[in-house]
Amino acid sequence: MNRLTTKGKIVFGILSIFIIALITITLIFIFTPKDKDPKELNSKYKEEVIEIMKGKNLYNKINEKEYSKTIEIMLEQNEFKEKYLEDYYKIEYINDNSFPKNTNNLLDKNYTPAEINYINNNLKEDINILLNMKHIDILKFKDITNFDIKKLERYLDYSKENTKYDMKTVVTYVNIGLDLEGYSEYKSYTKSEAENDLTIIVNKYHKLPEDFEPSDLVNLENTNYKLREEAASAFKKLTEAGIKDNVIFYPFSAYRSYNTQNGLYTNYKNRDGEKEADTYSARPGFSEHQLGLAVDVRSSNLTSNLTTEDYKWMLDNSYKYGFIIRYPKGKQHITQFIEEPWHIRYLGVELATKVHDSGLTYDEYYDLYIEKR
């Protein structure tokens, strides 16, 4: 057997070591994870989203900017549209399954990111109303507290027909119902609502039950006229305050039942025609008198009205005792009734004071500050 020389052994050993080292390095290279791009290591996006970015050749373009949850979701849900990339950065993400599709639909309708953020934060439940319409300047409603998106088309139609009104006025007038013919659409109260809420509004768009009669009616002092107990007590204080200022007035109508109002209105309609009667008399069920909170007053020297002086006193003082002039001068386009200086409505001192100080009709005030939405 040939034996290796010493020199050969040395060479063989060196080769063995080299081969082992080479194999070791190769295995380490194969099984060691590759280093990622430093930018990718700092990315907040999910790995699967990063792969989508790369597939669309958008990785560097997106990852060099601040992280956007909106962009991540749009990519993840396969709703991403590159033409809206800059818009996505400005749109706040909301946790809603329909967010990606709705966002693109609104952008397709030319809504701006600012408009979309307002819609998502305030109108999300009724977003389909906007999705089924052409683009509108929705931000003009943003500071209008009594805006109701369900009436959006009515606002827009009324605004076109009444260009002299600003949008805040348009919203209030439409909410009252002024874009509709009186009595054509209305809310019907329950007996419980009529009995337990002294602030409810009764007009051509709010109706009382036919069989409603307040449970606490009492006679006004020295008369057969009736009001609800709280209102009657306040009316006594009002009349006493008037006497101290040498303003003498008496009631000449107060609570009226549905049937009584029906008889009055029918007589007026037969005499003057329905259109004319509707300007000064409420139809049955739509009269404040049935609430037991309204009273008509007359100056001591008149049969059915207040003198100019007594009317001014009533304007300046009735709220202190819980009453307002319900149909003031110059407000027929809002109240839908002619001026009635003699018709006062009880609301309680606190609310009557607020209405008086606002300078608004009760129809306007109710919609702005009381109506529940």
Residues near 129 by Cβ (< 8 Å), separated by ≥ 6? 123, 149, 150, 152
Write down the pLDDT at residue 44.
Answer: 87
Alpha-carbon gap, residue 289 to 54, rounded angstroms: 74
Closest residue by Cα to residue 205 from 21, 366, 22, 38: 366
Kindly report the pTM of this predicted structure: 0.85
Tell me the backbone φ, ψ of residue 164, rounded to 5 degrees: -75, -15
Alpha-carbon gap, residue 367 to 373, rounded angstroms: 10
Among residues 161, 340, 350, 364, the one annotated as catalytic is 340
Write down the pLDDT at residue 64.
Answer: 87
Alpha-carbon gap, residue 297 to 42, rounded angstroms: 79
Residues near 240 by Cβ (< 8 Å), separated by ≥ 6? none
C-alpha angle 56/59/64, rounded to 5°? 150
Which residue reads 């020297």 in tokens? 301
- What does each C-alpha distance from 3 to 7, 9, 13, 209 come to in angstroms? 11, 10, 15, 123
- What does each C-alpha distance from 309 to 240, 316, 330 come to in angstroms? 17, 11, 18
Burial of 13 (0-12, 13-18, 19+ CB in 10 A): exposed
Alpha-carbon gap, residue 345 to 56, rounded angstroms: 69
Residues near 105 by Cβ (< 8 Å), separated by ≥ 6? 131
Write down the pLDDT at residue 142.
Answer: 95
List the chain pLDDT tens, one digit each, 373 residues.
Answer: 455 566 655 656 666 676 776 676 666 555 545 444 545 545 789 999 999 999 999 999 998 899 999 999 999 999 999 999 999 999 999 999 999 999 999 999 999 999 999 999 999 999 999 999 999 999 999 999 999 999 999 999 999 999 999 999 999 999 999 999 999 999 999 999 999 999 999 999 999 999 999 999 999 999 999 999 999 999 999 999 999 999 999 999 999 999 999 999 999 999 999 999 999 999 999 999 999 999 999 999 999 999 999 999 999 999 999 999 999 999 999 999 999 999 999 999 999 999 999 999 999 999 999 998 7
- Structure-token pair, residue 268: 């007026």
Active site residue 340: yes
Q: What is the pairing mode between strands 187-188 and 206-207? A: parallel
Write down the pLDDT at residue 27.
Answer: 61
Write down the pLDDT at residue 3.
Answer: 52
